[in-house]
Copies of this chain bind each other. A is one copy, B any other.
Amino acid sequence: MNYNTLFQQIKQKRSFLCVGLDSDIAKIPAHLLETEDPVFQFNKAIIDATAPVTVAYKPNIAFYESRGVAGWRSLEKTIAYLRDSYPDIFTIADAKRGDIGNTSQMYAKAFLDTMQFDSITVAPYMGEDSVTPFLEYNGKWVILLALTSNKGAFDFQFFEEEGVKLYEKVLTKSQEWAGKEQMMYVVGATKAEMLAGIRKIVPDHFLLVPGVGAQGGSLEEVARYGMNSRCGLLVNSSRGIIFADKGADFARRAGEEAAKLQREMEQLLQTYRVI
């Protein structure tokens, strides 16, 4: 999916919501555990209930990998379902991979080719040749970690050389590898005011913003500091939507929570004159 198609989706749905499929089998409704693939059934129901207001889905790969072969199968079925039933929705493999060239190539093949995700999150520590193999697939995206939303972000991301912080260096340096048509950045919502500075370095790029909801960030602040004329934001919510209710009613409740966020987003898109 290209930059403009993604923007069209945002305008059409009046939403920049990404739903995180952190589908922990220990937390999904009990009645699903009797089905052959409970996690896929859960995802399918969540997707169907939230798709009208959602522009991106982001399976968190750890939650699948932790279940071995069975988890991998749930993941493959989920992405196939998304591709077949909702081909216009952007898909993100939240995998945070990154390794030497021949190894990143293998990860790229797994997520972007075999499973056909639109994008994958990548960790920057190993530099250019760990990232560029993911850029070799036409129309696919790298979403590079810049400033994450967790406490440990302060350990290294704020390391500073001559007034430039490491996360700023990541933003600058990586623009040599790809432009706004193939690269996005992860920027945590818990540090929303820093989005203003980040927008000076990457004014046009899309930013994937986790940490709204369970991780404590404010949607309004994210929009105030981070929105650009093409929206430029995908804001993720995981637990607040998918585990809004843990009973038989989980899908309807997820749809409601997603719709609530969409209404806030629509307002913000209007406030900042994107739509």
Name A's B-contacting residues (CB within 8 A): 22, 24, 60, 62-63, 65-69, 72-73, 76, 94, 96-104, 106-107, 109-110, 114-115, 123-131, 145, 148-157, 159-161, 166, 169-170, 173, 215
Contact = CB atoms under 8 A, between A and B. Distances in A.
A182 B73 CA distance: 33
A66 B114 contact: yes
Given A123-B125, A125-B145, A68 B63 contact: no
Contact of A156 (B65, B101, B127): B127
Contact of A62 (B72, B103, B160): B103
B166 A152 contact: no
Given A22-B103, A68-B76, A69-B72, 12 more contacts: A62-B103, A66-B110, A69-B73, A94-B99, A100-B149, A123-B123, A123-B125, A127-B152, A127-B154, A127-B155, A128-B155, A155-B173
6 contacts: A69-B69, A94-B99, A98-B123, A128-B152, A130-B150, A161-B161
A72 B74 CA distance: 13
A169 B22 CA distance: 32
| Residue from the set A24, A109, A127 with the largest chain B CB neighbour count within 10 Å | A127
A124 to B, nearest CB: 6
A51 to B, nearest CB: 24
